[in-house]
Structure 1
Amino acid sequence: MAHISDVTAQTQTVILDIKDDDSPRPRVFISFVQKLFGEFVGTFSLVFAGCSAIVVNDTYGKPVTLPGIALVWGLTVMVMTYSIGHISGAHFNPAITIALASSRRFPLKQVPGYIAAQVLGSTLAIESIRLMFQLNNDGCSLKGSIYVGNHPSSSNTAAFVVEFIATFNLLFVISAVATDKRANRSFAGVAIGATVVLDILFGGPISGASMNPARSLAPAYIWGCYKDLWVYIVAPIVGALAGAWTYNMLRSTNKSYGEIIRPNCSKEASQDDFCVLRVVDPNNRKLFILSSPTEINDTCNVTCKLA
């Protein structure tokens, strides 16, 4: 339990001496198998919805159009992020998993399992589409046949650059809205889904805007079309790493913890009221301070002093 030391009637700010108690605390545990199943379901749903939109657009006189296809991908990402994000993190993409692991935002030992679940979910989604729409096996020729895989519309260089930039944008936004505690995570799914829509709108006609090695690998395996596949594996991974690490450089701050963490305080509180602020410094030392409302600035920040 915590007890207050050196408190007087005139003291406006005091330090709490903290002693951790041994009372049991409930913990929420999600098994690794549940996370893998979440990644499998999310990747299957994403690839099935997005690629089905492509097939419907090519089969029925292009009623969906490019903006429609982009919206299908973006909305599915948003919906599945809110549905599964609290279980597995809602990666659905090996490039995302690798990039977050490289920046220490995801356990490295879980990367192989996540990638396996994502590739399996994507492969089953593509096979389901092939059977449902009775797509033939001549997709690689791209002559009158519907192929839901990715291929450069012009040169490999242009496709590589587009895939790099699109995935860079995606990971930059994910790192900003989903991994930074200063961000409002309530709208993370909206921001990530909107980024996917924007990336497809400018990158779709050039490279297909895959941004996802699992999404590209699955149709290549089902139809046996491995030409130029390296572009859709290397470019997204490199772009994801660049996006995640670029935001990590911006993440660093020289602000005090009081400027970063906003306590649940009110400037209209009584002068005798105190606001409790819990801070964990880089050395994981627990620091509790009591601050009077008069010491809270206009943005409800408290300047924290390490004990």
Structure 2
Amino acid sequence: MKNYLAEIVGTFILVAFGTGVVVVDQQTDAEVTLVGIALVWGLVVYAIISAIGDVSGAHVNPSVTVTLWASGRFPGAQVAPYIVCQLIGAVLGSVMVRVLFPDADSLGGTAPSGGLMQSFLAEVLLTFLLLFVVLNVSEGAKEKGITAGIAIGGVITLEVLFGGPISGASMNPARSFGPALVGGDWTAYWIYVAGPILGGLLAAPLAILLRSDNKPEKPSTES
């Protein structure tokens, strides 16, 4: 059960700090800047991987969980419980942001800045890169260690800088779910479910092919 609790806590931290800094930027007339927002996202991901990577794998993202399952690294029986825990953590994170900023017009949610297809394709591309890196630096179903934390945190920073102005650079259905539910704004939410899941599933076979000479890793069954 500790892995489920870790996913709730990890996703709570991710959403509270990640979307929280977006709200801070909005309320301070962009003093944080896009670079600052990207750094916060990258650093909080690094911190989460360092803290709970050896407990739950620090997925904190349904697209990560689904892709690890599709890659044969994660047991199917744990996919749904992990995703439920991630959604719970995301909602709690958004509730915290609402408590901290009761007058905020937005809770740092994601919405397309241009066309729907542009944002959808951006989410597919961004998540493809993220999961390609995750699959190549993680051990089995777990993202742990300094290398994984730096690599994945660095990719998150890069992708927020690149995709933030386009789609909000979610790459994570749970990250978008929390602000949408608590804030009541479901604008084009399908993009932030379909895009990340598709991007991750596209990364899975490529990562498997590139590592086909390595010994297959058994799915983690820790609880």
Q: Percent identity?
A: 44
* Structure 2 letter corresponding to 1:98: V
- 1:177 CA displacement: 0.7
Mapping 1:185-200, distance limit 5 Å: 186-200=146-160
- 1:186 CA displacement: 4.0
**Cα distance change, pair 219–185 in 1 and its aligned pair in 2 (3 A):** closer
- 1:92 CA displacement: 0.3
Residue by residue over 1:171-199, the C-alpha shift from the partner in whole angstroms, topping out at 9 and shown as x without a partner, is 0001011137xxx9541110000000011
Q: 2:88 aligns with which of 115, 120, 124?
A: 120
Q: SS at 1:158's partner residue?
A: helix
The answer as to 2:18 corresponding to 1:39 is: no
The answer as to 2:205 corresponding to 1:245 is: yes
- 1:131 CA displacement: 1.8
Structure ranking higher on relative contact order (CA contacts 8 Å, 6+ apart): 2
CA contact (8 A) 1:48 1:126 kept: yes
Residue by residue over 1:202-244, the C-alpha shift from the partner in whole angstroms, topping out at 9 and shown as x without a partner, is 0000000000000111111112222310001000000011112
Partner of 2:16: 48
The answer as to 2:38 corresponding to 1:70 is: yes
Q: SS at 1:240's partner residue?
A: helix
- 1:107 CA displacement: 0.9
The answer as to 2:172 corresponding to 1:204 is: no
Q: TM-score, normalised by structure 1?
A: 0.67
Task: Decide which structure has greater strand share.
Answer: 1
* Structure 2 letter corresponding to 1:109: A
CA contact (8 A) 1:220 1:226 kept: yes
- Cα distance in 1 for partners of 2:139, 2:129 equals 15
- Cα distance in 1 for partners of 2:186, 2:19 equals 18
Mapping 1:71-86, distance limit 5 Å: 71-86=39-54
Q: SS at 2:53's partner residue?
A: helix
Q: 2:63 aligns with which of 95, 105, 122?
A: 95
The answer as to 2:177 corresponding to 1:223 is: no
Q: 1:151 aligns with which of 111, 132, 141?
A: 111
* Structure 1 letter corresponding to 2:157: V
Q: SS at 1:88's partner residue?
A: coil
CA contact (8 A) 1:163 1:232 kept: yes
Q: 2:79 aligns with which of 105, 108, 111?
A: 111
Task: Decide which structure has greater helix share.
Answer: 2
- Cα distance in 1 for partners of 2:200, 2:6 equals 21
Partner of 1:26: none
Partner of 1:162: 122
Q: SS at 1:225's partner residue?
A: coil
* Structure 2 letter corresponding to 1:195: V
* Structure 2 letter corresponding to 1:251: R
* Structure 1 letter corresponding to 2:169: A
Mapping 1:9-20, distance limit 5 Å: none
- Cα distance in 2 for partners of 1:170, 1:52 equals 22
Query: Which consecutive residues of structure 2, in runs of 5 or more, have no partner in the other structure?
Result: 217-223
* Structure 1 letter corresponding to 2:127: T
**Cα distance change, pair 147–47 in 1 and its aligned pair in 2 (3 A):** closer
Q: 1:57 aligns with which of 16, 19, 25?
A: 25
The answer as to 2:193 corresponding to 1:233 is: yes
CA contact (8 A) 1:177 1:185 kept: no
Residue by residue over 1:97-120, the C-alpha shift from the partner in whole angstroms, topping out at 9 and shown as x without a partner, is 001011111111001110011000
Partner of 1:19: none
The answer as to 2:135 corresponding to 1:175 is: yes
- Cα distance in 1 for partners of 2:107, 2:45 equals 22
Looking at CA atoms only, which structure, 1 or 2, has the larger radius of gyration?
Answer: 1
- 1:58 CA displacement: 0.6
- 1:245 CA displacement: 2.0
Residue by residue over 1:124-171, the C-alpha shift from the partner in whole angstroms, topping out at 9 and shown as x without a partner, is 1101111211136xxxxxxxx334111000101000011011100000
